Amino acid sequence: MRALARGSGTDYHGRVRGFPMGLRFRLFLLVILPTALVLGSYGVMRIRVETRQAAEAERRQSAVTARAVQIAIEHDLRDRQIADIQSLVSELVMSHAQIERILVVDRALRPLAAQPPQTAPRLDRLREVLATGQVRHDVEQPNITRYALPLRAPRGGVLGAVEIAFTTSLPEESLIRTIWDVGPRIAVIVLFVTALTLLAIHLDLIRPLGRLTASIQAVGEGRPGPPLPASRRDELGIVARSFNRMVEQLQAARSGLVDETERALELEKQLRRVETLAVAGKLTSALAHEVGTPLNIISGRAEIALRALPPDHPARGELTVIAAQAERIASTIRSVLDSVRGHKPEMQRVELPRLLPQLGGLMGHEARRRRIVLEAPPPGDLPPLLADPGQLQQVLLNLLTNALDATPAGGRVRIEARESRQIDGRAGVAVTVSDSGAGIPAEILGRIFDPFVTTKPAGQGTGLGLAICRDIVRDHGGTIDVQSQEGRGTTFEVWLPAAEEAR
């Protein structure tokens, strides 16, 4: 998958992490654009309606004001208070910003009051009003509205007329005021809906998808995390539950693959060992046949010669060397034969506290000869073992011999036993043999139990002792392990099950 990502020019991690961001943006557009379109259409309609309503309100206000001015002038005109009419007209024009001009005439169209004064006013509208007695309403310019109203006597006769010019808002100005009034409200609604939408998308979709993509990435990198929450009953819940099942199956498959790989490696290791032993068996058979008979003749003739010569004969030393070397060759052949031939152990109850002192006695002389301290503390109460005493002694003697060979003069070798329990709960006894020698090189440590692997100089070891020890311990249902550091010594530990566990 990483190779595919590199091939496409896109980083795997960036692509996975970038997916929710792109999805969030697309979902935002998908939800917000229709919402904005609807709210925008509503805003345009609202602005038009409010613009019309504002214009209608101004028209009604102008009509009410004109009617109020008509009533006030009619009252003064009935009393022939011309001065009061002039004063009233001047005050109205000065105090009302919407009133641009007022002209009052009598029935003969003679001006009674005008504000601001006019030299040649147009009287056609007032003439029509005096003739018909009806109110006239005209819009001359986009922002100028004129009302011409008759002035009536108490009994209904027409005494004169008044013309009032109002200044109204331009359509553009009204539109701007409406936009400034409606626009912020629409903007607040849009922001509120946007925030709610983003929050809902994040909580209900983006965050679960983010957890899913993070889990997919973790599985791809081989570090699966905790299962995804799967309590939802929608499609995301189905995806989460399916993903959790997939991860469980992958982990089970991975675990099975690891087990199969370990078994395959173990089988391959055993196969190599069998092949090695097969080669060793053929070699041993040939060696025993080709070398055994001449070696027996040499050894027998050397023994006869030794018995025939007097004790002080100078050739006895040479004959002794010949006999010893012949016995060493025979011992090597027997070791090889034992490793490839093997035999079933004869199990019986073995008390290890009785066996260990015997080993100390057998190896004590050799340790003193090499000026090595052999420590064999008496073990405490140990459970009896079900083992072959001869094979068990062979294992421990081999480990002690190797420890003495690896330890320089002045060093220490220690053998001790203790009760021990395995991880699976099985009870048994652990015997450790440790030395203060040079340790096992790291490149050999992992192969130390393989046949023909040795740390001894050429001619001083066959490399079969530890392989034989391992096979014997396995036949007894136990384990043998080694820990070593170069320059600090080596420790072998043999664990054998107690007699009750071995049954």
Judging by beta carbons within 10 Å of its beta carbon (0-12, 13-18, 19+), is residue 136 exposed, middle or buried? middle
pLDDT at 292 over 50: yes
Smallest Cα–Cα separation from 39: which of 199, 193, 195, 198? Answer: 193
CA distance 255 to 244: 16
More confident residue, 170 or 21: 170
Distances (CA, A) of 399 to 146, 420, 469, 481: 127, 20, 8, 12
Reduced to 3 states, what is the DSSP secondary structure of residue 288? helix
Three-point CA angle 35, 40, 46, nearest 5°: 130
Structural domains of the chain sorted by starting position, each given as residue range(s) with its CATH number in brackets: 2-51+174-220 (no CATH), 81-171 (3.30.450.20), 228-342 (1.10.287), 345-502 (3.30.565.10)
Beta-carbon contacts of 320 under 8 Å, excluding residues fewer than 6 positions away, are 306
pLDDT at 88 over 80: yes
Reduced to 3 states, what is the DSSP secondary structure of residue 387? strand
Q: What is the pLDDT of residue 430?
A: 93
pLDDT tens profile 328-383: 677 667 666 665 555 677 888 888 888 888 887 778 888 898 999 999 888 888 89
Q: If you average pLDDT over residues 55-70, what whole number do you get?
A: 85
Element (H, E) at 379: none
- Residues making up the chain, counted from first to last: 503
CA distance 210 to 172: 50
More confident residue, 408 or 155: 408
Beta-carbon contacts of 488 under 8 Å, excluding residues fewer than 6 positions away, are 436, 439
Neighbour count for residue 336 (Cβ, 10 Å)? 22
Element (H, E) at 473: helix 465-475
DSSP calls for 395-446? HHHHHHHHHHHHSPTT-EEEEEEEEEE-TTS-EEEEEEEEE-S----HHHHT
Three-point CA angle 152, 153, 156, nearest 5°: 75
State the chain's mean pLDDT as an integer.
Answer: 78
CA distance 125 to 139: 12
Q: What is the pLDDT of residue 393?
A: 87
CA distance 450 to 465: 10
Which among 160-169, 269-278, 309-318 has the top mean pLDDT?
160-169
More confident residue, 453 or 415: 415
Point out the least confidently predicted range of 129-133, 137-141, 382-386. 137-141
Smallest Cα–Cα separation from 324: which of 302, 291, 342, 305? Answer: 302
**DSSP letter (8 states) at residue 371:** T
Q: What is the pLDDT of residue 19?
A: 44
Would you tell me the crossing angle of helices 235-308 and 316-341 to the nearest 10 degrees?
150
Q: What is the dihedral of CA 147, 148, 154, 160, to 10 degrees?
A: 150
Distances (CA, A) of 66 to 57, 102, 105, 482: 14, 10, 15, 117
The first and second tokens of residue 48, run together, are: 């038009």
Confidence of residue 302 (pLDDT cuts 50, 70, 90): confident
CA distance 181 to 143: 21
Q: What is the pLDDT of residue 16?
A: 40
pLDDT tens profile 419-474: 988 888 888 999 999 999 989 888 888 888 887 777 776 556 667 778 888 888 99
Point out the least confidently predicted range of 81-90, 397-406, 456-465. 456-465
pLDDT at 89 over 80: yes
More confident residue, 301 or 21: 301
More confident residue, 274 or 249: 249
Q: If you average pLDDT over residues 214-239, what whole number do you get?
A: 72
Asked if residue 458 lies in contact with residue 391, where contact means CB atoms within 8 angstroms, the answer is no
Q: What is the pLDDT of residue 279?
A: 64
Reduced to 3 states, what is the DSSP secondary structure of residue 101? strand
Beta-carbon contacts of 111 under 8 Å, excluding residues fewer than 6 positions away, are 103, 104, 105, 118, 121
More confident residue, 12 or 356: 356
More confident residue, 86 or 39: 86
Q: pTM (2 decimals)?
A: 0.41
**DSSP letter (8 states) at residue 291:** H
The first and second tokens of residue 411, run together, are: 């060093």
Q: If you average pLDDT over residues 158-162, what whole number do you get?
A: 89
Confidence of residue 17 (pLDDT cuts 50, 70, 90): very low
More confident residue, 24 or 382: 382
Q: What is the pLDDT of residue 74?
A: 84
Point out the least confidently predicted range of 21-30, 255-264, 277-286, 434-443. 277-286
pLDDT at 45 over 60: yes
